[in-house]
Structure 1
């Protein structure tokens, strides 16, 4: 991680030189899962609606199991949970192309999608948990907050980059080779890199390493309004991702180019990655709440422009502007979650956000797919604007939500 290394060499030294590349690659399958399922089912079974339903099924599995996975990690540690879950997920992903291409009933395919989502290894939140523990163990107290802020910015930027690269890779592989290659590749990455991530020396971080077990906050603290609005805002970003990709797929599929949707989607990653990585350099007086509303509003404006796109050129321009809004917005949401996480519940909090992205992406894929099939591709392009409106509404709710004194101090920092 070049940013963290320049900001604090001590963190890079204690994490090890291979940690950040490994953690980055290991989170790719999570970003490829929903899009890969959608692309493969549409290609093999010829229905955007069925593809969207399978994406939603994967999201449901993640919604149910994701926070439980985080809670298990908080209690038992990462290695004991992540190794078996990762191996099971790799096996399920590897079998999915065979099941979809077979004569198996649609219900069987949906059930397998649920299991894929339920066993998805959420590397990103677990990486954050490890790094927070390392910072609190090895970084001088007077530098901890600054290092933590920079690290969370990198992690959020890495998430944003991966959620752009993942669909892009799926689209590239589907166009160049075949749709099944993306899912098979995700299975191979999970088997190799998620296992390596789980067994990395940083995985020895024990549950409660940052706080003692006696200090762990009660579960009800996860339902406090400021944190709930952050989760809802993240859900909106997930809905935006799913609605954008599915509407693009429908728009391009009308001309027989549906497999290129991931390539167009990747256009959004240019400005998104740059601004996400640069978020840590924004002045402190530009508060997280202000960033949420500012970049969320930009996201909404660009989404409205996307709704009126009628050519590939219009799509490219709108997607490029969308990237300028979605990257910093996601960085801001994860930074707020890190600050507002209840004591001893960091893994649970981060998996809640990770699940919200996948659930939103999956549900939006299902609904937008049905809209495209019933009302046409142009109607589907309206869905991203609705998702962006939810992001902005959650930001307004967060701004007006009552904050504890310590939370106000964190948000102003």
Structure 2
């Protein structure tokens, strides 16, 4: 059983502490929105500060990943947790001051955000490689995708409940989680830096630029789908006169994704990473079509539940291919660069779908989700053209080319899977 094997490899304490450690990432945007809207009585300003925070998270993520590769996840994770705790304290103090101070403080929260999800995926890749159990990576990434989805449902839900206590309560809980979970997780479970081989001309192994750029663009498109669905669900809830239903309906999206992600651990080994990517990209696009058509003809909640099941399998395949692309010493940098595309795409998806929703309602917002799903097929087309593109097999860069005819007169290229 794959998940039982992961428990043996990582230890029992890794999983509950790792889940709690990622909750601040999931709850920070809503906690900031609630805090600053209460202070300024302006949703427009609170949204602007939230956008600045998300952009800062996207910008700082690759920097954190590169530092983690150089100095070790333990050191960088602990420093990031302490810095983020201080930044939240600064935001609480700034919430009683000027809007400029609030905007700066919100940006600092984003810049110091611990990158738990991307770094723990890089950690799994390195840990399983070191133990000679690479075959467990699919199960590890399946668990991480499910944990992420559950955290992005649980985090905002808890923040929403605490908002009834007071606007400071969500921010205070976030600080408690950073101190009680994120920091201990980095100190107890993150690995140290990889010892460097002494060499006068030592250079860091390069990241594969073109393939990684394609993966990042796919993540941007995925973020666009998330942003569009969030907007569509909000518009739907307002349309039926129950604004509180937005959270419940969007939770269906996350729960369906989490269940599908957990099931990916049982996919057969012969189902290669490349084949999974091609398959799940198509299924995700189909899911956006179901969402668009189902919301118009059947039921928005039912359509969201069905479409959600297509998300995590695609995300897992995207993470798995990125893990294969990166040299071991640059795994954290590659994963954080990939994940930086998520918030950027989400912000763009929210902006575009919000504009269309003004004139076309829920259908306008969902049209952006369909467009994002269609864009996800572009990397699939590139990957299918194995005669010209550069990809990675077992962490070794190779250039696809037409091989000379073999003994049987056939020409075989090398496959990503």
The yes-or-no answer on 1:104 pairing with 2:98 is yes
The yes-or-no answer on 1:352 pairing with 2:337 is yes
- Taking a change above 3 Å as real, the CA distance of residues 218 and 185 of structure 1, as seen in their structure-2 partners, is same
**Greater Rg over alpha carbons, structure:** 2
The yes-or-no answer on 1:186 pairing with 2:191 is no
Question: How far apart, in 2, do the equivalents of 1:410 and 1:34 lie?
Answer: 41
Deviation, 1:336, is 1.0
Q: Which protein, 1 or 2, shows the higher relative CO under an 8 Å CA cutoff with sep ≥ 6?
A: 1
Aligned length: 396
Deviation, 1:374, is 7.0
Question: How far apart, in 2, do the equivalents of 1:335 and 1:247 lie?
Answer: 30
- Taking a change above 3 Å as real, the CA distance of residues 56 and 410 of structure 1, as seen in their structure-2 partners, is farther
Question: How far apart, in 1, do the equivalents of 2:42 and 2:298 lie?
Answer: 26
Alignment of 1:8-407 (within 5 A): 10-12=8-10, 16-38=11-33, 50-94=45-89, 96=91, 99=94, 102=96, 104-105=98-99, 107-137=100-130, 139=131, 141=132, 144-174=133-163, 177=165, 181-200=169-188, 202-203=189-190, 205-208=191-194, 212=197, 218=204, 220-223=206-209, 225-253=210-238, 257-307=242-292, 314-372=299-357, 376=361, 378-400=363-385, 401-403=389-391, 406=396
Superposed CA RMSD: 3.4
**TM-score under structure 2 normalisation?**
0.81
**TM-score under structure 1 normalisation?**
0.82
CA offset digits 1:301-329 (Å, max 9, x no partner): 33234345668972211210121110111
Q: Quick check: 1:56–1:365 contact (8 Å CA) kept in 2? A: no
Q: Quick check: 1:171–1:263 contact (8 Å CA) kept in 2? A: no
Question: How far apart, in 2, do the equivalents of 1:295 and 1:320 lie?
Answer: 17
CA offset digits 1:71-110 (Å, max 9, x no partner): 111112223322232122123335546655x5733x5443
- Taking a change above 3 Å as real, the CA distance of residues 377 and 321 of structure 1, as seen in their structure-2 partners, is closer
Gaps in structure 1 of 5+ consecutive residues? none
- Taking a change above 3 Å as real, the CA distance of residues 319 and 172 of structure 1, as seen in their structure-2 partners, is farther
Deviation, 1:30, is 1.0
Q: Quick check: 2:392–2:416 contact (8 Å CA) kept in 1? A: no
Deviation, 1:154, is 2.2
Q: In structure 1, the residue corresponding to 2:299 is in which secondary structure?
A: helix
Q: In structure 2, the residue corresponding to 1:345 is in which secondary structure?
A: helix
Deviation, 1:29, is 1.2
Question: How far apart, in 1, do the equivalents of 2:258 and 2:83 lie?
Answer: 31
Question: How far apart, in 1, do the equivalents of 2:225 and 2:198 lie?
Answer: 37
